[in-house]
Structure 1
């Protein structure tokens, strides 16, 4: 016996003070640190842009780890259900808005992605009483491609060979398509009352 409570055991509710929630908290703290690095020297210092990329990557990794740990070791809490998506959207939102303010990414891209993320988050909160809905493959793929695309734009691509920027745009367009398609799919599913195919 590992001594850990089985996932979903109502008789052994998880403590809010656990590793999964700690990682979520770390991600929240990293958001302002990331912005400081991104905007250092008016956002045009290649070294600070690389630092911002590293911070963003670490934050993305915590997003993957906290959910896996929470589900695997019975650490799912009401706080985690609320804080995890908020921390996720804060990170993505901060990165997108920052890149648009620096004119490295068009504002329409930021608005499309944020509209989808905020809308889906509100839908998830609306059905929270019916239970946590696992992310679909499409949602997981969207999250991965979105993170890669944003990460590429955080790098100082204007100081690198042109193919890097072209690659970043190809990945970003893939992220935009996945963002819109999975968002529409989630909305249709939620309106139909189906809670078996949630989208991340």
Structure 2
């Protein structure tokens, strides 16, 4: 197993520990900081595994499938925890997770037709905004950062919808019977 795939597996293995520190007060006030550190480290492995895989031509079918899945598991786990903690509205999480299901289904249909759909810049902006939003909500610093939290919640939500629309428009041929 190559390094990028090991980083993907590491990210998946970090998720239960992240969730544990988010939802269980194991370390008192330090719990949220441990959860935040775990989330940041896991997020950085997402960035790192892709760069390594492309730079050293270590792209594998396992990585193509598991890397985006690990990313979705991490982000969705964080948002569900934040909802349970009353830090993020459920309706926002439902919209964001629904987008992920729609895109995943779309990719499955495309793959069945032999079409590989690359991530767009809108999708990358969306992921970045979501990760910043999650970090701000976990840190829960209040004051000016409270304003940033709100800004990033709605920015992440807007980018989620924009990236979905962009994705559907660019790949609408996948749903037609005459897809390539």
* TM-score (ref. length: structure 2): 0.89
Q: Which of 45, 69, 84 is 1:62 aligned to?
A: 45
Aligned: 1:184 with 2:165: yes
Are the counterparts in 2 of residues 89 and 118 from structure 1 also a CA contact under 8 Å? Answer: no
Aligned: 1:133 with 2:114: no
Number of aligned residue pairs: give it: 174
Q: Deviations over 1:148-181 (max 9, x none)?
A: 01111111x2xx3422111111011111100101
Are the counterparts in 2 of residues 31 and 94 from structure 1 also a CA contact under 8 Å? Answer: yes
Q: Deviations over 1:119-157 (max 9, x none)?
A: 1122123323535433222221111111101111111x2
Are the counterparts in 1 of residues 52 and 58 from structure 2 also a CA contact under 8 Å? Answer: yes
2-structure distance, mates of 1:97, 1:188: 29
Are the counterparts in 1 of residues 120 and 167 from structure 2 also a CA contact under 8 Å? Answer: no
In the TM superposition, 1:23-42 aligns within 5 A as 23-41=7-25
Q: Deviations over 1:51-82 (max 9, x none)?
A: 10110011111111111211221111111111
2-structure distance, mates of 1:118, 1:68: 25
2-structure distance, mates of 1:165, 1:185: 30
What is the SS of the residue equivalent to 1:133? coil
Unaligned stretches of 5+ in structure 1? 1-16, 195-200
Aligned: 1:86 with 2:73: no
Structure (1 or 2) with the greater helix fraction = 2
* TM-score (ref. length: structure 1): 0.80
Counterpart residue number, 2:33: 50
Q: Which of 155, 160, 171 is 2:152 aligned to?
A: 171
Q: Which of 88, 97, 109 is 1:114 aligned to?
A: 97
Computed over aligned residues only, the root mean square deviation of the Cα atoms, in angstroms, reads 1.9
